[in-house]
A and B are shown apart, each in its own frame.
Chain A
Amino acid sequence: MSHQLPVILFLLPLFAAISMPVVCLKHRHWCQPISVAILAAMVLVSILNLHNIIHHGEVRYVFSGWAVPLGIEWVADGLASVTLVLLSGLGLLGVVFAGRTSPKALAGRIVHYYTLILLLVSALTGIVFTRDLFNLFVFLEVAAISSYALVGVAGGRALFAAFRYLVLGTLGASLYLLGVSYLYAVTGTLNMADMVDRLPFLLHSKALVGGLLFMFMGLGIKMALVPFHAWLPESYTYAPESISPILASLVTKVALLAWVKIVYWVLNVPVVIFGVPVLLLVAVLGALAAVIGASLALAQRDIKMMFAYGGISHIGIILIGIGQGNQTGFAGGVFYLLNDAVMQAGLFFLAGVASCHYGVKTIDDIGRVRKQAPWLTVSLIVLALGMIGLPPTGGFFGKWYIILGALEAGSYVSVAAVVLSTLLTLAYFVKLFEAIFRQSSTGLDVQYGEIPLPFKLALGVTSATIMILGLFSSPIVQMLLNHALPPGL
């Protein structure tokens, strides 16, 4: 039974998504409770799965009995299981939050809206578990198509943002597929574990380099790495309030995880191709993304835009950790990834509450409502501590391990990039707080009243999780070091 858990985790949201249009055709108000129930069940199963993996080691699942190089293989290792707890948890929070914020204009189409959310969650689950390069492509595209539709679902400005996202995202997917077909042409296999054995003899092959480059460019677009980030800020800013937390916290992070899997599980670091160490490339691109993303965030006045660029810079910080090629850096990078997912969700929940309940969109307006918005202010302070990376939040310990890893690898440029991006993050939060606390709360003619329970829940749980990740950072990182490291590191 326990070795079936990864597949159960995938099938739960998938079946719910497929049956949703049938079950809820007559009863629209059932959609949200059913989604909440399914995702809550998924959280429980994923915790059970993580418990299993820690105590009994990784689970390898082969579909319909076809042995490994022929069949599609799924592996639930430590990394995948930890990510899945987070993924299902944030999905659940997102759906709870969506109950109060889903766009009014949807009316009857609300059924499809929840269908797409569940489909997105199931596709992301597939990306996390799969060890087959083509299977990964299919799930990337299912996740991407659901995201395009979800961004554009409410109409308005989001339509154009969604179209841009679609064009760039599909280009990325095509490049990834091209890379996969190159690798398939060279190695004759699509299974990651099988490819590992064949690659060492092919490091001089130009097709291999080309294939890896195309795959990296494709996934770079999906994870919004800096030169390819243009689609992200607009689509997350104009997407419906209930959608941007789910997209911002999960989609880019899971694409990054797919790339981590390819670098560490297929390429089997430390590999040098044509004189270029692959990991160095990852770390340098990460450093660029960390600094450029944070600088761009500093220039924004719209809070969602600011948070979106903040997310882009944090993708860079995670890549710096992953690219150090030692255990500390890798564990730090993965820990920071978990943190960043929670922080991004929290930030976009906050922006959603600010715009839904208080009608506030820019940083100049937040000051107006400060006195009436205790939940907003407190969670903003916690999130800011996490984003800047001050103890006792998880953000601090993530950056701490990443810097330790960089020092261990002797890469002082990476340390400098993390520190610089931290300073820039501090700068844009100072700008935010300055706008909030400078205003002497004049013009309080509107009474907003108490915010509803789902909003409190979303803000409270994300803020608390950031604190908990910080307070329990050492057992979590120890667990990552014991169970989530790639082979040969």
Chain B
Amino acid sequence: MVDAFSAVFQRPNFLAFVLIFLWGFYIMVTRYNLIKKLIGLYLVQTSVIYFLVSISAKEGATVPILLSTTEPVQAASYANPLPHVLTLTAIVVGIATTSVGLALCAAIYRKYGSLDEQVILERLE
């Protein structure tokens, strides 16, 4: 038990990821307001991106640009650039999704005059 706890607290980044993910998920499930649902969704997306960045962190490493062209490449002294590139793409995808979601919210508000899921469901009938 103690081992499990200490294992968790040695990796605060994973703990933070799990907390943000579950927090976002909780908001998505429990809130009726559509904008709040979108905020929860955005938190979920952000937590995954945070996870992707945090696993690529390396102590004492520098930016992945060759320091010298004469010496052989020391892979250990550079940070891995790939997760950051993936993160950039994932952020762009997340922005696109959120903007489509907000556009839908705006259209829903114009049509039903409310952003509350329960009110909208009543007016749908």
Q: Give bound CA distance, A148 to B89, whole Å.
A: 19
Separation in Å of the B11 CB from the closest CB of chain A? 12
Q: Give bound CA distance, A407 to B28, whole Å.
A: 44
Q: Is A160 an interface residue (CB 8 A)?
A: yes
Counting chain A CB atoms within 10 Å of each CB, the highest count among B83, B97, B104, B108 belongs to B104
The answer to whether B44 touches A166, judged by C-beta atoms less than 8 angstroms apart, is: no
Q: Is A41 an interface residue (CB 8 A)?
A: no
Partner of B111, one of A144, A159, A181: A159
The answer to whether A141 touches B97, judged by C-beta atoms less than 8 angstroms apart, is: yes
Separation in Å of the B99 CB from the closest CB of chain A? 9
Q: Give bound CA distance, A129 to B89, whole Å.
A: 19
The answer to whether B51 touches A163, judged by C-beta atoms less than 8 angstroms apart, is: no
The answer to whether A185 touches B124, judged by C-beta atoms less than 8 angstroms apart, is: no
The answer to whether A181 touches B52, judged by C-beta atoms less than 8 angstroms apart, is: yes
Q: Is A265 an interface residue (CB 8 A)?
A: no
The answer to whether A178 touches B48, judged by C-beta atoms less than 8 angstroms apart, is: yes
Q: Is B61 an interface residue (CB 8 A)?
A: no
The answer to whether B104 touches A170, judged by C-beta atoms less than 8 angstroms apart, is: no
The answer to whether B45 touches A162, judged by C-beta atoms less than 8 angstroms apart, is: no
Count contacts on B: residues with CB < 8 A to the other chain: 29
- Contact residues on A (Cβ < 8 Å of other chain), bracket: 20 to 34
Contact flags A144-168 to B (C-beta < 8 A → 1, else 0): 1100110010011101101100110
Q: Is A93 an interface residue (CB 8 A)?
A: no
Q: Is B76 an interface residue (CB 8 A)?
A: no
Q: Is B73 an interface residue (CB 8 A)?
A: no
Separation in Å of the A251 CB from the closest CB of chain B? 15
Separation in Å of the B62 CB from the closest CB of chain A? 20
The answer to whether B41 touches A138, judged by C-beta atoms less than 8 angstroms apart, is: no
Q: Give bound CA distance, A377 to B62, whole Å.
A: 69
Q: Give bound CA distance, A167 to B104, whole Å.
A: 11
Q: Give bound CA distance, A157 to B123, whole Å.
A: 10
The answer to whether A171 touches B104, judged by C-beta atoms less than 8 angstroms apart, is: no
Residues of B within 8 A of A184 (CB): 55, 82-83, 86
Residues of A within 8 A of B105 (CB): 163
Contact flags A161-196 to B (C-beta < 8 A → 1, else 0): 011001100110110011001001100001000000
Q: Give bound CA distance, A149 to B102, whole Å.
A: 11
The answer to whether A160 touches B100, judged by C-beta atoms less than 8 angstroms apart, is: no
Separation in Å of the A8 CB from the closest CB of chain B? 24
The answer to whether A149 touches B51, judged by C-beta atoms less than 8 angstroms apart, is: no
The answer to whether A167 touches B120, judged by C-beta atoms less than 8 angstroms apart, is: no
Separation in Å of the B103 CB from the closest CB of chain A? 8
The answer to whether A174 touches B48, judged by C-beta atoms less than 8 angstroms apart, is: yes
The answer to whether B28 touches A167, judged by C-beta atoms less than 8 angstroms apart, is: yes
Residues of B within 8 A of A166 (CB): 97, 100-101, 104
The answer to whether A181 touches B104, judged by C-beta atoms less than 8 angstroms apart, is: no
Q: Is A134 an interface residue (CB 8 A)?
A: yes
Residues of B81-111 at the interface with A, using a CB-CB cut-off of 8 Å, are 82-83, 86, 89-90, 93, 96-97, 100-101, 104-105, 107-108, 111
Contact flags A60-87 to B (C-beta < 8 A → 1, else 0): 0000000000000000000000000000
Partner of B104, one of A144, A162, A174, A190: A162
Residues of B40-75 at the interface with A, using a CB-CB cut-off of 8 Å, are 41, 44-45, 48, 51-52, 55
Q: Give bound CA distance, A149 to B48, whole Å.
A: 24
Nearest A residue (CB) for B40: A167
Partner of A167, one of B41, B51, B83: B41
30 examples of A-B residue contacts, CB within 8 angstroms: A141-B93, A145-B96, A145-B100, A148-B100, A148-B101, A148-B104, A149-B100, A152-B104, A155-B107, A155-B111, A159-B108, A160-B120, A160-B124, A162-B104, A163-B104, A163-B105, A166-B100, A166-B101, A167-B28, A167-B101, A170-B41, A170-B97, A170-B101, A171-B41, A173-B93, A174-B44, A178-B48, A178-B51, A181-B86, A184-B55
| Chain B residues within 8 Å of A, Cβ to Cβ | 25, 28, 34, 37-38, 41, 44-45, 48, 51-52, 55, 82-83, 86, 89-90, 93, 96-97, 100-101, 104-105, 107-108, 111, 120, 124
Q: A163-B104, A171-B41, A184-B82 are in contact. List 19 more A-B contacts (CB 8 A).
A: A137-B90, A138-B93, A145-B96, A148-B100, A148-B101, A157-B124, A159-B104, A159-B108, A160-B120, A162-B104, A166-B100, A170-B44, A170-B45, A170-B97, A173-B97, A174-B44, A174-B48, A177-B52, A184-B55
